[in-house]
Each structure stands twice: as structure tokens, then as C-alpha cells.
Amino acid sequence: MSIYFKHIFSRIFVFATVSFLTVGIITGCNGGGADKPAGSAASADTTLQKNEAPATQTAVDLAGLRGADSVQILFFTDPYGKDSLRYTRFFKHYNTSDTAIVNPLLKNLDKLFVMRNEVMNCRSEGKLFFFKGEQELKTVYFNTGANAKADASNNENCTFLYFIKDGGFYYVPVNAEIAAMLNKLKPMSKKPVAEVN
């Protein structure tokens, strides 16, 4: 009989301990699109509980980008133009497996993220398609802040890298070095060429 009670008690203790630890490390988020850093006190919100991740997990882990060995960078032709609906359809691209480019991009994502329930009120300047061999891993959008004046009506800080996962929007600030690198690569990008069968 005493063994039976010890077994039940140990299960309750383990459950309570795991529950306490889980509540302590859940990534914060809240309704209405406001941002909260990972591990913040706002973790009581349950609207996106399935999207929450441990506070120690970085954006590169959450996006599954460890081991990425190449990237295709798309630069939108006119990201701040009048056409706010179709500006992403026109672009140039730059493809590379150069570790001097891929590794710094991954390093910029290897930090804690901010999760939002809604996308920020900012335009993207382009997107990054990361690959491991032939396998496409994740699409990451970017804004270097190069044309902040063009988006002056917006109160948001629009300098970011972000990706979408399970309905959540995960943001990481862009390092100045990464912004400079992307702006340097943009003039080297090429227009897409239609494939001929």
C-alpha cells in the first residue's frame, strides 16, 4: 500500500515540477500584435500557446536553419513604391553558398526573438531562401532600414529579419553589418530568367 502512494506522490511531484518549469520558460506573446520578448511576463496569454517556444531557443533553431549552406536573396525592385499590394512580385536575386555571406546571416538569427500575433506594419525589402543542399529550409523576410524615410508614417521600428511559423511572426533585429552587407549585394543581384523547356 505504501509503495502505491509513493508512486502516486512521485507522479504528482513530477507533474507539478514540469508544469512549473514549463510556465517559467514559455515565450511571451500577447493579443493585438504587440511584441513581447522571449521569456517575458506576458506568457500568460494562451491565444497562441501552441506557437510558444522555450525562452532559450533562438530564431535560427525555431526556423530549423542550423546546417543551412546556401541562400537565395531576393531584393524587391520597389519596396516603398505606391503599389502596396503587388510590390513583392518584382525582384532581382543573388544566389550564394559563400560562407562569408551565409554564416553572418545565420549568426544574426542565432539570438532570442520577439513573437507577434500579427505582422508588423512595415514593408519588406526582400526575402532570404535558405537551403541545405537541395532542400529549402525556411523563408526569412528582411528590412535593412535603408529607406526609413519612405516609411516615415509608420511608428514601428522596421529594421528586422522575420519568419512565419504556425501562425506566429518571429522577429529579430538586423545587425548593422548585415544591413550593410545586404545593401552591398543588392546592386549585384540579377533579374530572374524564364526557364526554357
pLDDT of residue 25: 29
Contact 74, 93 (CB under 8 A): yes
Is the model's pTM score more than 0.85? no
Which pLDDT score, from 0 to 100, does residue 88 have?
Answer: 83
Is there a contact between 75 and 189 (Cβ–Cβ < 8 Å)?
Answer: yes
Cell numbers for 78, please give them. 520597389
For residue 76, the tally of other CB atoms under 10 A from its CB is 18
Each residue's pLDDT expressed in tens, for the chain with a length of 197 residues: 444 333 333 333 333 333 333 333 223 333 333 444 443 333 333 333 334 555 578 999 999 999 999 999 999 988 888 887 788 888 999 999 999 999 999 999 999 999 999 999 889 999 999 999 999 999 999 999 876 554 545 556 889 999 999 999 999 999 999 999 999 999 999 988 876 66
Q: What is the pLDDT of residue 42?
A: 34
DSSP 37-104: ETT-GGGG--TTGGG--BTT--HHHHTT-TT--EEEEEEES-TTSS-TTTGGGSEEEEEE--HHHHHH
Measured distance CA(186)–CA(74) in Å, rounded: 9
Q: Residue 152 class from Cβ within 10 Å (0-12 exposed, 13-18 middle, 19+ buried)?
A: exposed
Distance from C-alpha of 182 to C-alpha of 98, rounded to nearest angstrom: 14
Predicted pLDDT at 39: 35
For the sheet containing 70-76, what is the strand order? 36-37, 114-116, 168-173, 160-165, 135-143, 126-132, 70-76, 91-96
Are the CB atoms for 35 and 171 separated by under 8 Å? yes
Strand partners of residue 96: 71
DSSP 87-102: GGGSEEEEEE--HHHH
